[in-house]
Amino acid sequence: MRSRPSKSSLRKKKASSTSPALPPALKRRFQQRLLKWYGEHGRDLPWRRTSDPYHILVSEVMLQQTQVDRVIPKYHEFLDRYPSFEHLADAPVADVKKTWYPLGYNIRPERLHSIACETVERYGGRLPNDAEELLSFKGIGKYTAGAIRSFAFNEDAPILDTNVIRVLHRVFVAEGDPKTLKARLWELSEALIPRGKGYDFNQAIMDFGAMVCTARDPYCLLCPMKSFCRTYPFDPQSRSRS
């Protein structure tokens, strides 16, 4: 009697059948050119000088819908005031919101405070690195979980923020609305990570989207991906804009 396939094997089979077809040569070319560009042009940001999960979490929450230059001084101020999960959990939410000002989107400091309380209560003040456990926190979504795993725990975890969506869609897809293709773009993000280099690759692709493959006026002539980018030369009137 033939045994039934396990749920895990079915999930693996389904994942492999839906993964985007990515020619190995194209994959290597993109990885090598992106990492080379990052080595020469990557930004020096304060949260890239630490692997502390708490510091990484604070930076990621602050960077949601807020520009980097506004975040940097507030990042330092916030960590001076609340240097650990325990310090943040012990602080009144009203004080945390005052320290957060004027970054806006005040649900963010409330959620950050909630995450700190839960981390102290459930994990002794140490943020877990397991994806499902991270996603169980209210205020930690798929992107933030991937960023924490990648930047704090050096895992090859995919990320997908606005910049990453733009780069992947323009270079590899070029058709349709990126907002409706997130499942495919998540798969691409994961498939492109060079083994053991998730940290550098993810930082690189975010910087590339912020500095070269920008939303309105990308630097196409200087782009190292132009020989295989599916939207080169970029047309601002096309649907590929994101």
Cα three-residue angle 225-145-127, rounded to 5 degrees: 135
In the annotation, is 60 catalytic?
Answer: yes
Contact between 131 and 157 (Cβ < 8 Å)? yes
Q: Is the peptide bond before 20 cis (omega within 30 degrees of 0)?
A: no
- AA letter at 34: L
Which entry of 60, 118, 187, 190 is annotated as an active-site residue?
Answer: 60
Alpha-carbon distance of 191 to 189, in angstroms, equals 6
Task: Report the sign of the C-alpha dihedral through residues 62, 56, 159, 119, in that order.
Answer: negative
User: Cα–Cα distance between 159 and 50 in angstroms, integer?
Assistant: 19
Residues 23, 27: Cα–Cα separation, whole Å: 6
Rounded CA separation 138/63 (Å): 17
Q: What is the DSSP string of 13-58?
A: HHHHHHSPP--HHHHHHHHHHHHHHHHHH----GGGS---HHHHHH
CB–CB of 224/25 below 8 Å? no
Residues with catalytic roles: 60
